[in-house]
Amino acid sequence: MTRILAIETSCDETAAAVVDDGVFVLSSIVVSQEALHRRWGGVVPELASREHAVHLAPAVRRALAMAGTEWSALDAVAVTRGPGLAGALVVGLNFARAAAVGRGIPLIAVNHLEAHLHASWLASPMALPSGHTPDFPVIGLVVSGGHTELVVMHDWDVVEVVGRTRDDAAGEAFDKVARILGLGYPGGPAIQAAAALAPATTSGSGEPDARDTLSRPWMRGNLDFSFSGLKTAMLRQVEGELHGNGTPVGNPSRLAEVARAVGHASAGDNAARPVTERTARLARAFQEAVVDVLVSKACEAAVMYGAKEVVLAGGVAANLRLREALIAASPVRVRVPALEYCTDNAAMVGAVAYRQLLRGEVSGQGLDIRPNLQIGER
Ligand code: KG4
Ligand code: ZN
């Protein structure tokens, strides 16, 4: 049995976990900085680093206590080295390095995006180990605040990117559109909640009302994505309705200005407002368009690459509509992470680190962060 202490500080979650054999999560502590960053409508890097410095040691202590383990029982320390915010990554990496040196155990540097891809195979300590081995090749859809990538996992460590966003990441689009609609921060859960309030379709045909439908950015002929056009379409809707005639007016780059003009969100004011029926319908229209494109391309990739499974990963994988639609449409088995392992956490870092330890991929003490790390790099 191999016991790993894992640390994650790439963005705005300070996280520590103890994971056995890369699968069994003995403890997973996540200290969210959401409330701190909410008033700015997004993550403020310097504030994030300082918060990590304050909260990491207590988080590690809690993770060890909850796992009922001592430092002496650990076989390795794992940490995210990238991609992420430089100042945030440094805090986790320095802590992990000091712990590894102090205990004389291996230090394992993990790619945050690969960690997300491993989250679906995590289990509670009571689970049976069977059923936790993927059948390769696996299509992975990584959808987070910073990334939207479609990959083929030929094996745990052989990951090929076959499609990616050309502009905004899916989570980023959710966050920006939530801001346009005055739905607060972070946008993904807010849009999902607002969309759920939209009334059933009204046309009588079972089809959504045309006013509730956005055209999809298909990017035909490849597996890439583009979400900035959807954001602009939402902005034009809001802007047009602001002027009372539904006619698009103005320059879409005036996002913050328009959001302020419609009395929705501005810096320092990102708390959610009561949701009107129109806002709920727009939230649903946006969510449906994003989900439709993500699901279609993931399924297309599954057929194209003869995949045996499709795995969903990253913060947007928490979206219930996306999970439901992918499960309904996929030609092969779908794995989705438990909700607690969709958004940033350290258990997923422990999962990928275990595979690296088995392969002897251990870092030296001069390890550095890699804020721009790509999938497939370590
Ligand atoms: O993976 P993550 O925690 O951080 C990054 O590595 O980026 O992802 C955060 C992103 C945010 O953009 C957030 O709005 C989105 O995941 N998100 C969701 C949901 N929950 C979180 N998007 C859609 N629906 C959700 N339920
Ligand atoms: Zn993430």
Strand order in the sheet with 158-164: 158-164, 148-155, 138-143, 309-313, 333-335
Cα 259 from Cα 197, distance rounded (Å): 21
Q: Is the pLDDT of residue 272 over 70?
A: no
Q: Is the pLDDT of residue 145 over 90?
A: yes
Q: Is the pLDDT of residue 51 over 50?
A: yes
Distance 225 CA to ligand 2 centre (A): 18
Mean pLDDT of 139-156: 97
Cβ neighbors of 81 (< 8 A, separation 6 or more) are 89, 93, 109, 110, 111, 367, 368, 369, 370, 373
Strand order in the sheet with 13-20: 24-32, 13-20, 3-8, 76-82, 107-111
Mean per-residue pLDDT of the chain: 89
> Which pLDDT tens digit goes with each residue over 62-106?
999 999 999 999 999 999 999 999 999 999 999 999 999 999 999
Cβ neighbors of 244 (< 8 A, separation 6 or more) are none
Segment among 22-36, 60-74, 108-122, 125-139 with least mean pLDDT: 125-139
Distance 315 CA to ligand 2 centre (A): 6
Cα 329 from Cα 298, distance rounded (Å): 10
Q: What is the band of 134 on the pLDDT scale with cuts at 50, 70, 90?
A: confident
For residues 52 and 276, the model is more confident at 52
Ligand 1 close to Cβ of residue 144 (< 6 A): yes
Distance 17 CA to ligand 2 centre (A): 15
Mean pLDDT of 225-244: 86
Q: Is the pLDDT of residue 266 over 60?
A: no
Distance 249 CA to ligand 2 centre (A): 36
Q: Which residue has the tokens 């947007």?
A: 316
Ligand 1 close to Cβ of residue 314 (< 6 A): yes
Q: Is the pLDDT of residue 10 over 60?
A: yes
pLDDT of residue 262: 41
Q: Name the strand (E) or helix (H) holding 335.
A: strand 333-335
Determine which residue's CA is closest to atom 3 belonging to ligand 1: 343
Distance 251 CA to ligand 1 centre (A): 28
pLDDT of residue 358: 97
Q: Which ligand 1 atom is nearest residue 10's CA?
A: 6
Distance 146 CA to ligand 1 centre (A): 9
Ligand 1 close to Cβ of residue 83 (< 6 A): no
Cα 361 from Cα 376, distance rounded (Å): 14
> Which pLDDT tens digit goes with each residue over 278-319?
899 999 999 999 999 999 999 999 999 999 999 999 999 999
The CB-side HSE value for 343 (13 A sphere, CA atoms) comes to 20
Query: Which residue out of 34, 185, 316 has the highest number of ligand 1 atoms within 8 Å of its CB and is therefore the one to mutate?
Result: 316
Distance 278 CA to ligand 2 centre (A): 31
The alpha-helical segments, DSSP class H, found in 123-224 are 170-180, 187-196
Determine which residue's CA is closest to atom 19 belonging to ligand 1: 188
What percent of the chain has a predicted confidence (pLDDT) above 90? 76
Q: Which ligand 1 atom is nearest residue 169's CA?
A: 12
Ligand 1 close to Cβ of residue 189 (< 6 A): yes
Q: Which ligand 1 atom is nearest residue 171's CA?
A: 12
pLDDT of residue 250: 36
Q: Is the pLDDT of residue 348 over 50?
A: yes
Q: Could you give the C-alpha distances from 296 to 75, 185, 224, 248, in angstroms and in order?
A: 42, 27, 11, 29
Distance 315 CA to ligand 1 centre (A): 3
Segment among 32-36, 173-177, 248-252 with least mean pLDDT: 248-252
HEC profile of 74-112 = CCEEEEEEECCCHHHHHHHHHHHHHHHHHHCCCEEEEEH
Q: Which ligand 1 atom is nearest residue 342's CA?
A: 1
Nearest-ligand number for the alpha carbon of 171: 1
The alpha carbon dihedral of 144, 147, 152, 154 has a sign of negative
pLDDT of residue 213: 84
Determine which residue's CA is closest to atom 16 belonging to ligand 1: 315
Segment among 44-53, 247-256, 317-326 with least mean pLDDT: 247-256
pLDDT of residue 211: 67
Cα 244 from Cα 226, distance rounded (Å): 29
